[in-house]
Amino acid sequence: MLYLVVYLQIKFKWRKCWLVRPFLQLVAFFLAYYTALTRISDYMHHWSDVLGGAILGIIVCFFTIYLISDLPKVCEKTAAFTTSSGLPLYKSTRNDDHSESSSNSSTVPNNGGISITSPNN
């Protein structure tokens, strides 16, 4: 189920249904969690067997993602559409370079990305 969560995070890019992806990820995670708990509570497996299976599943998931699938390549392609905080929301056209401010004035950016220069008091 971890592979499904990662796959949905990388491939699922519907902008109008932005709550569908986290909801599906939570359903997948809790389905795996519920299965593990019921295996223990029904005395089908010992807790250490379930823990070992979960760790083995996580290791196989990461090997599949990084060695077999093309998901990291997809992440590199979508990296151009990330904001400064790292969230893949939209392509930012805002210029955040404030290195051109002089010692006699301070630069204050506004919401439009245009810098307004005002003298120091």
Per-residue model confidence as pLDDT tens digits over 95-104: 555 544 444 4
Beta-strand relationship, 115-119 and 105-109:
antiparallel
This prediction has a pTM of: 0.56
Q: Please report where in the chains the tokens 């630069």 appear, as a residue.
A: 107
> Which residues of the chain register pLDDT less than 70?
75-121
Which stretch of DSSP H or E encloses residue 16?
Answer: none
Q: Quick count: other Cβ atoms within 10 Å of Cβ 25?
A: 19
Give the tokens for residue 91: 């392509």
Q: Tell me if residue 119 falls in helix, strand or coil.
A: strand
